């Protein structure tokens, strides 16, 4: 066979030897390559070129598509033996595993407590999350809740509205407390765990805790009155309430709590310590003029839109030793805005009071030190309840670092803060975002992102990325495998650092414990529409 004939046979993929049963060398097995000049490879049987694809042999040829190789994930200790040329991506690895980096594919871990206590990435153990409904905000927080519980942290969901977290807390072996008309209530005048801890500690430390308990009860009562009135109470009325509470506590037997009807009775009777605060100078008319507006507002709590939810003993006290606690207020109707806001504030006050009590006992050496993670979901609900309510939320949640707890505040957009009454209130509501150690964004419109960028410092690329996540699925969506492009995608911002874009995928266990569209499935709405259940349940479509 001439050399030219041999080259042509090589081009046709027939092998080097005519009639050969198979390739005899690596060159024989190589796919055909067309050289630029045939003569350039004559007599050079040891030189080959890298093929574009395919293989040599009968009925073979080049292929236009190759399946991608299977991707495996491993630790750097394991992977370095297989591929020693690895380099770290710089993604944070301290805390609860949240998802994969959208650019590098690296695992991203994080939560407010871990980034504050261990990694020291943030100076305040708090998280503020914003995003449009249905994109997975509460699902991400639920992931943090589960992960922190596994680390020994006690999650506290103080006001579960849907409920989104009750099933998870039950699965963790925690305590679920139901609040609503006819199913359970909270006595806002009950010192609760703080009062019990003050009596147990005793001495000067116990007196200090009792004084803090008095201030917390007074703040919560003022918040209820603010909701009923639609505006804050004045400083004079707070002084009257404080004097009345002190007077009643001195005359109430140990083991019995003061109730709101008792407070109304005491104001009507007008004891001397309370009259002294009103400067009535012995004139009953002056006293009535000073306390009647307050008296009417208290009656409004008992007989008005708040019903009997706050007028009797606390139905179920928080168990400080529970592995997790959820206060479920989902029984309250959607239109009961005042009762919802009041129940949320009462739950926050009771929960944070329990945290303070546990830390006071630990400081006294009576119990082990514990850490807490509080979830304040649907923040927009109490913000819109009444003017001045921002002050009450601020007073309840400002001292997180000194209280030894991390928190997650969740709402939809910054416009929730802009909807409150006065400019001063709006500035304080924006302060929730400014003080947060972590700011997490799900899909938001561009105008919202630009406004947020003026507070936390977002680049134009970050604004473009998060804005693209707020788009709905296409009109051709069948509802089976289509979902909003932003579902499960988040941008984590910490100070002036570049944002960390992540993609979260939930496990089967999380999918069953945390489905925010449960009622659509329970009502068999999917069957009525002739759609599979996965088309209705948003979490089930997550990758």
- For residue 270, tell me if it sits in a domain: no
How many Å apart are CA 139 and CA 132, to the nearest integer? 13
Same domain, residue pair 15 and 144:
no
Tokens of 373: 């993670």
* Per-residue pLDDT at 433: 84
Residues 6+ apart with CB under 8 A from 69: none
How many Å apart are CA 205 and CA 182, to the nearest integer? 38
Tokens of 366: 């009576």
* Per-residue pLDDT at 201: 94
Angle value at C-alpha 535, between 529 and 537, nearest 5 degrees: 110
* Per-residue pLDDT at 496: 82
Same domain, residue pair 147 and 38:
no
Buried b (16+ CB within 10 A) or exposed e, 351-371: bbbbbbbbbbbeebeebeebb
Region at 192 (left for phi over 0; alpha for psi -120 to 50; beta for the rest): left
Same domain, residue pair 501 and 370:
yes
* Per-residue pLDDT at 66: 65
Instruction: Report the relative pairing of strands 154-160 and 325-328 from DSSP bridges.
Output: parallel
* Per-residue pLDDT at 216: 87
Domain tally, the chain: 2
Q: Which domain holds residue 36?
A: 1-65
Last residue of a domain, one of 28, 46, 65: 65
* Per-residue pLDDT at 435: 82
**DSSP state letter for 17:** S
- For residue 99, tell me if it sits in a domain: no
Cite the beta strand spans of 125-252 per DSSP E. 126-130, 154-160, 175-178
Residue 167: C-alpha distances to residues 160, 328, 478, 510, 539 (Å): 11, 11, 30, 10, 15
- For residue 381, tell me if it sits in a domain: yes
Last residue of a domain, one of 39, 65, 91: 65
Same domain, residue pair 519 and 443:
yes
* Per-residue pLDDT at 88: 57
Centroid of chain to Cα 391: 22
DSSP string, 405-451: EEEEEEES-THHHHTSSSHHHHHHHHHHHHH-SEEEE-S--HHHHHH
- For residue 417, tell me if it sits in a domain: yes
Same domain, residue pair 135 and 57:
no
Same domain, residue pair 503 and 446:
yes
* Backbone phi, psi, residue 373, to 5°: -135, 115
- For residue 104, tell me if it sits in a domain: no
Same domain, residue pair 165 and 58:
no
- For residue 28, tell me if it sits in a domain: yes
Tokens of 159: 């006001």
- For residue 429, tell me if it sits in a domain: yes
* Per-residue pLDDT at 489: 94
How many Å apart are CA 472 and CA 31, to the nearest integer? 47
Same domain, residue pair 512 and 373:
yes
Same domain, residue pair 22 and 123:
no
How many Å apart are CA 230 and CA 367, to the nearest integer? 42
**DSSP state letter for 540:** G
pLDDT tens string, the chain, 543 residues long: the values are 444 444 344 344 443 344 444 444 433 444 444 444 444 444 444 444 445 555 556 656 656 666 777 777 777 777 777 766 666 557 888 999 999 999 888 899 999 999 999 888 998 898 999 998 888 898 999 999 999 999 999 999 988 988 889 999 999 999 999 998 888 899 999 988 999 999 999 999 999 999 989 988 998 898 889 888 888 888 899 999 999 999 998 888 877 889 999 999 999 998 999 999 998 888 888 999 989 999 999 988 888 778 788 888 899 999 989 999 999 998 888 778 888 888 888 888 899 889 989 999 999 999 999 999 999 888 777 777 666 667 766 765 555 556 678 889 888 887 776 666 677 777 777 778 888 889 999 999 898 899 889 888 899 999 999 999 987 766 665 554 567 778 899 999 998 888 999 999 888 888 888 665 555 454 443 344 343 333 333 333 333
Which CATH number is 383's domain given?
Answer: 3.40.50.300
The helix (run of H) or strand (run of E) holding residue 491 is strand 489-493
Same domain, residue pair 171 and 32:
no
Same domain, residue pair 24 and 116:
no
Alpha-helical regions (H) of 64-201: 76-82, 112-117, 137-150, 166-171, 192-201
Across the strands, what pairs with 439?
Answer: 128, 493
Same domain, residue pair 532 and 458:
yes
Residue 474 · residue 482 · CB < 8 Å: yes
Buried b (16+ CB within 10 A) or exposed e, 148-163: bbeeebbbbbbbbbbb
Last residue of a domain, one of 65, 85, 100: 65
- For residue 242, tell me if it sits in a domain: no
């Amino acid at each position: 066979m001439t050399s030219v004939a041999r080259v042509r046979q090589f081009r046709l993929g027939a092998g080097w030897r005519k009639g050969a049963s198979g390739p005899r060398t690596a060159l024989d097995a190589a796919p055909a390559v067309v050289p630029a000049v045939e003569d350039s490879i004559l007599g050079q049987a040891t030189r080959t070129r890298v093929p574009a694809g395919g293989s040599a042999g009968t009925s073979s040829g080049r292929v236009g598509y190759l399946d991608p190789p299977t991707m495996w994930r491993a630790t750097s200790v394991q992977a370095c033996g297989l591929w020693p040329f690895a380099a770290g991506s710089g993604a944070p690895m301290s805390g609860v595993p949240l998802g994969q980096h959208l650019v590098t594919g690296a695992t991203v871990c994080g939560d407010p407590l871990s980034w504050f206590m261990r990694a020291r990435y943030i100076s305040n153990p708090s998280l503020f999350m914003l995003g449009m409904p249905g994109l997975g905000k509460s699902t991400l927080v639920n992931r943090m809740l589960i992960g922190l519980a596994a680390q020994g942290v006690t999650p506290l969901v103080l006001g579960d509205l849907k409920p989104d977290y009750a099933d998870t807390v039950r699965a963790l072996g925690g305590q679920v407390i139901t609040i609503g008309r006819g199913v359970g209530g909270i006595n806002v005048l009950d010192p609760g765990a703080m009062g019990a801890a003050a009596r147990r500690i005793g001495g000067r430390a116990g007196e200090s805790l009792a004084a803090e308990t008095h201030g917390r009860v007074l703040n919560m009562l003022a918040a209820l009155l603010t909701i009923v009135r639609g505006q804050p109470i004045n400083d004079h009325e707070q002084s009257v309430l404080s004097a009345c509470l002190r007077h009643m506590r001195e005359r109430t037997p140990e083991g019995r709590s003061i109730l709101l009807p008792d407070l109304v009775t005491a104001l009507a009777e007008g004891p001397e310590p309370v009259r002294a605060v009103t400067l009535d100078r012995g004139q009953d008319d002056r006293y009535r003029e000073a306390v009647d507006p307050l008296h009417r507002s208290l009656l409004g709590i008992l007989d008005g839109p708040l019903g009997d939810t706050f007028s009797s003993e606390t139905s179920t006290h928080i168990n400080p030793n529970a592995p997790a606690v959820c206060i479920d207020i989902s029984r309250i109707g959607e239109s009961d805005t005042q009762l919802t806001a009041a129940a949320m504030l009462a739950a926050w006050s009771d929960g944070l009071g329990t945290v303070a009590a546990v830390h006071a006992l630990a400081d006294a050496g009576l119990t082990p030190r514990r850490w807490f993670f509080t979830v304040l979901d649907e923040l927009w609900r109490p913000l819109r309840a009444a003017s001045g309510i921002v002050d009450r939320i601020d007073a309840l949640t400002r001292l997180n670092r000194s209280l030894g707890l991390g928190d997650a505040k969740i709402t939809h957009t910054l416009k929730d803060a802009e909807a409150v009454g006065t400019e001063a209130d709006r500035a304080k509501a924006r302060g929730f975002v400014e003080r947060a150690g972590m700011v997490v964004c799900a899909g938001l419109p561009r105008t919202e992102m630009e406004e947020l960028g003026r507070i936390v410092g977002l680049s134009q690329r970050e604004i473009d990325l998060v804005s693209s996540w707020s788009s709905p699925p296409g009109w051709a969506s069948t509802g089976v495998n289509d979902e909003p492009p932003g579902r499960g995608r988040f941008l984590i911002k910490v100070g002036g650092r570049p944002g960390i874009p992540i993609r979260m995928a939930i496990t089967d266990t999380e999918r069953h414990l945390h489905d925010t569209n449960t009622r659509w499935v329970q009502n068999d709405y999917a069957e009525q529409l002739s759609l599979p259940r996965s088309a209705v349940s948003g979490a089930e479509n997550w990758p």
